[in-house]
Structure 1
Amino acid sequence: MSLEFLREVQAYAYFCLTVFLVVVLYSYYYHLYKSERTGRRNYEKYANLALNDDITDVVLEGKEKRD
């Protein structure tokens, strides 16, 4: 194996990894957009989570009881 061949394989692997990560990022963005649009989650209330972290603040989501 020559050094040129290894560099070429490295370049193809880097390109494929970059494309894969872009696809994952955009699919995650679409998932967040779709779930907020349909009303399953409201991500706006999570925006101030770091600011509203006092012990007396209201809980964002309650625990569900399981039987």
Structure 2
Amino acid sequence: METIRELQAYGYIFATIFLAVVMYSYLYHLYRAEKKGTRNYEQYANLALHDNIDDAPIESRTPSNNAKE
């Protein structure tokens, strides 16, 4: 029973560290994309305010945009 608890503790520590690294790397990715100008996240923040069906889209979809994703 003691070894199971030790394995749970090591697993918990590993999962916590792994998820923290993933979160900070994602935040760095968002910061870098905003800084380089590839994405403007303020437009996406306004999406919550301007969400009517007749509002203008945030980005137009072109064939070059589809190729990027």
The answer on 1:16 being equivalent to 2:14 is yes
Percent identical among aligned pairs is: 55
- Give TM-score scaled by structure 1 length: 0.89
Q: How many residues align?
A: 64
**Structure 1: which 5+ runs fail to align?**
none
Amino acid at match of 2:18: F
**Structure 2: which 5+ runs fail to align?**
65-69
Q: Which 4+ stretches in 1 moved above 3 angstroms? A: none
**Which of the two has higher C-alpha Rg?**
1
Q: Which gives a bigger RCO, structure 1 or 2 (Cα 8 Å, sep 6+)?
A: 2
- Give TM-score scaled by structure 2 length: 0.87
RMSD over aligned Cα atoms: 1.1
